[in-house]
Amino acid sequence: MPVGLVLLVLMTRVVPDRPGQPGSGIDIFGALLATATAASAIYGLINAGDHGWSVPMTLGPLAAAFALGIVCVVYERAITRPLLDPALLVRRPIAAGPC
């Protein structure tokens, strides 16, 4: 039996029903920006290992990741319900990750 089906059945029994709240939708644009940023960075780093650091196949995706990252941060700071509250990144344990 597929794991996803088991989880779906369990979720309907464990997670309580809650009516939707107006204006509390998912930040789809922010999620797309964050995903595109991470994907571009990963693609650029993989290309660096395969082709070197100075080729356009590496620099292009890394530059795109940098630009998308800036756009993502600016966008997330401007909306009322961001994916991740940028104020959390001021706290050192969260910004640095588990060390």
Mean pLDDT per 10-residue segment, the chain (99 residues) = 81 73 74 94 93 92 95 88 76 68
Measure the CA–CA gap between 62 and 98, rounded to whole angstroms. Answer: 25
Q: What is the DSSP letter of 86?
A: G
At residue 24, the pLDDT reads 63
Structure tokens at 17: 């029903």
The amino acid at 37? T
Distances (CA, A) of 98 to 8, 37, 42: 31, 22, 21
Measure the CA–CA gap between 43 and 50, rounded to whole angstroms. Answer: 11
